[in-house]
Structure 1
Amino acid sequence: MPAEDAAAASTEHSPPVTGYRVLLPSQWDQVPLRNGTETAIRRILDSAFLRIPADAPRDKIGPYKRELERRFRAAVAEAQRGDALDVYLPVMPTSNVNLGASIVVSERVLPRRGRSVSHAEPAELVVQLLSQDGAENVDLSSGEVDGALAVRREHVVEANPRNGAELASRRVDYIVSVPDDPDRWFVTAFSTVGGGDPRDELADALVEWFDAVMVTFRWRRG
């Protein structure tokens, strides 16, 4: 964010927050989940289909397209079930590696419980915001993202084939307080299966990459 924009955002009369922006490499693409979802899905799939080698066996192309579309739509549908705002998915291989990863952005509203949540401890906020998901062995830390209070949570979710999770995954959540509105929180959730083990070197590298992505997070103001 330019210096003059940062200064304006810190004044009493700065416009209200209307959204966010984050910088991602070209291998990743955004699917908005409130408006324009199908248009984005078709654009991304059509682009992926164009990258199929011209000499690929004709009898393999149809099944490949159908499976690619099924998996992509399943990832989008899962994010929609969580009432998310956007999902970001890797749409092109990186260094010949297909990344099993995603970023889901959602918004939470935390009801007041006797006192303003703006005076609560970060750990209390995480308990209230995320107490329903059963996360265990959680690594918590707090700080700021674009000048707003943020809590970072990292943990591993074990495989659960009954719920469609064939592999364990590494999760990193950033829960960020929306400026000037202490009841609203943005949750940016990263998930990766690594190279098949959420604790392997690829998972470690992807978590570091996501932390670097969150450094670019900026509020968008009206």
Structure 2
Amino acid sequence: MVEPTSSPTGYRLLLPSDWVQVPLRQGEPEEAVRSIVTSAFTRIPADVPRDKLTPLRLELERRLRAAVADARKAKALEMYLPIRLSGETNLGASIIVSEALLPTRTDSNGTTTHVSDPAETALQLVSGDRAADMDVSSGEVDGALAVRRERVAPPAADRGAELASRRVDYFVSVPGDPGRWFVAAFSTIGAGDPRDDLADALVEWFDALMTTFRWSWA
């Protein structure tokens, strides 16, 4: 395979129409949140009393704003969220796109430097310290070296996460720029249990989605 002489300027994912992108560095995240909340309530019958809907709507908006704030604090690039309900089940899922911090190595003189070789970075991600129930594997995404990491994260009530969640992260080396890694982080609570059938199905869906990932050049 011919190595690229320049790095890509973006990426593409073939997301279903019921998912929306929330821009975190450019654009208007607040507008996207309002659109998601509005879409989520469009299927509710008109005869449902407003006094019952308003608290639910406000709570959904609060949770989305908190999720966006956390993602922006982590310097994420974009967030993807489902904009309406699936049947009677709220998907309770998200995808956050960001750039990874490079791991470091310390030489015999005690000097710490960033690891710039993608293969060495992937090796550290695969073989480094991790929880016993974390599944890590390596492969390729659109011709680039990639590492897939899956785990179950415990509840974090202080951050508004009352339930445990299933997490799948894809770390993809950026062609032509060994110092950068693209990260797509998927999270779902399933139907309330991160290991239930819905969570399994959504993880399979996310893995299938990542097969549609393509780099784009200007």
Shorter-chain TM range is 0.7 to 0.9
Per-residue CA deviation, residues 155-191 of structure 1 (Å, 9 max, x unaligned), is 1111232443211111000000000001100110001
For 1:6-155, what aligned pairs fall within 5 Å after superposition?
Answer: 10=2, 12=4, 16-36=7-27, 37-110=29-102, 113=113, 116-120=116-120, 122-125=122-125, 135-155=131-151
Which amino acid in 1 is paired with 2:211?
Answer: V
Shift of 1:42: 3.1
TM-score, structure 1 as length reference: 0.83
Give 5+ residue unaligned stretches, structure 2. 105-112
Shift of 1:47: 3.6
* Alpha-carbon distance change, 202 to 115 in structure 1, aligned in 2, over 3 angstroms: closer
Shift of 1:68: 2.1
Distance 1:75 1:181 in 2: 30
Shift of 1:98: 0.8
Which amino acid in 2 is paired with 1:187?
Answer: V
Match of 1:167 in 2: 163
Distance 1:34 1:121 in 2: 26
- Kept in 1, the 8 Å contact 2:103–2:114? The answer is no
Distance 2:115 2:97 in 1: 27
SS in 2 for 1:122: helix
Match of 1:181 in 2: 177
Which amino acid in 1 is paired with 2:83?
Answer: V
Match of 1:3 in 2: none
Which amino acid in 1 is paired with 2:82?
Answer: P
Distance 1:218 1:45 in 2: 29
SS in 2 for 1:124: helix
Shift of 1:46: 3.7
Distance 2:16 2:214 in 1: 16
SS in 2 for 1:172: strand
Which amino acid in 2 is paired with 1:26?
Answer: S
- Give runs of ≥4 in structure 1 deviating > 6 Å: none
Shift of 1:25: 1.0
- Kept in 1, the 8 Å contact 2:126–2:137? The answer is no
- Kept in 1, the 8 Å contact 2:151–2:167? The answer is yes
Q: Work out the number of aligned pairs and report it.
A: 209
Give 5+ residue unaligned stretches, structure 1. 1-6
Distance 1:120 1:207 in 2: 27
- Sequence identity (%): 60
Is 150-159 or 69-78 further displaced after alignment?
Answer: 69-78
